[in-house]
Structure 1
Amino acid sequence: MRRSSPDGPPLPENGDSTLRRHTTALQRFYYASHQIAIAYDVHICEAGVPDVETSYGACPRHEGERLAAYHPSFHVPGKNHTVVITDCRFGEENLAKAWMADRIRQLILSRRCQRLPPARYRRRC
Structure 2
Amino acid sequence: MRRSSPDDPSLPENGDSTLRHHTTALQRFYYASHQIAIAYDVHICEAGVPDVETRYGACPRHEGERLAAYHPSFHVPGKNHTVVITDCQFDEENLARAWMADRIRWLILSRRGQSLPPARYRRRS
Q: Same fold (TM over 0.5)?
A: yes
Range 76-85 or range 17-26, more displaced: 17-26
**TM-score normalised by structure 1 residue count:** 0.79
Instruction: State the shift of 1:7 in Å.
Output: 1.2
| Alpha-carbon separation, structure 2, partners of 1:95 and 1:37 | 20
SS in 2 for 1:105: helix
SS in 2 for 1:63: coil
Pick closer, same or farther for the CA change 1:64–1:47 going to 2, 3 Å: same
**TM-score normalised by structure 2 residue count:** 0.79
Partner of 2:53: 53
Range 85-94 or range 11-20, more displaced: 11-20
Instruction: State the shift of 1:121 in Å.
Output: 3.4
Percent identity between matched residues is: 91
Pick closer, same or farther for the CA change 1:81–1:123 going to 2, 3 Å: farther
| Alpha-carbon separation, structure 2, partners of 1:70 and 1:54 | 19
Unmatched tracts of structure 1, length 5 or more: none
Pick closer, same or farther for the CA change 1:49–1:99 going to 2, 3 Å: same
SS in 2 for 1:35: helix
Instruction: State the shift of 1:114 in Å.
Output: 1.1
Instruction: State the shift of 1:66 in Å.
Output: 2.1
| Alpha-carbon separation, structure 2, partners of 1:40 and 1:53 | 13
| Alpha-carbon separation, structure 2, partners of 1:15 and 1:67 | 21
Instruction: State the shift of 1:31 in Å.
Output: 0.2
| Alpha-carbon separation, structure 2, partners of 1:121 and 1:42 | 29
Partner of 2:62: 62
Partner of 1:23: 23
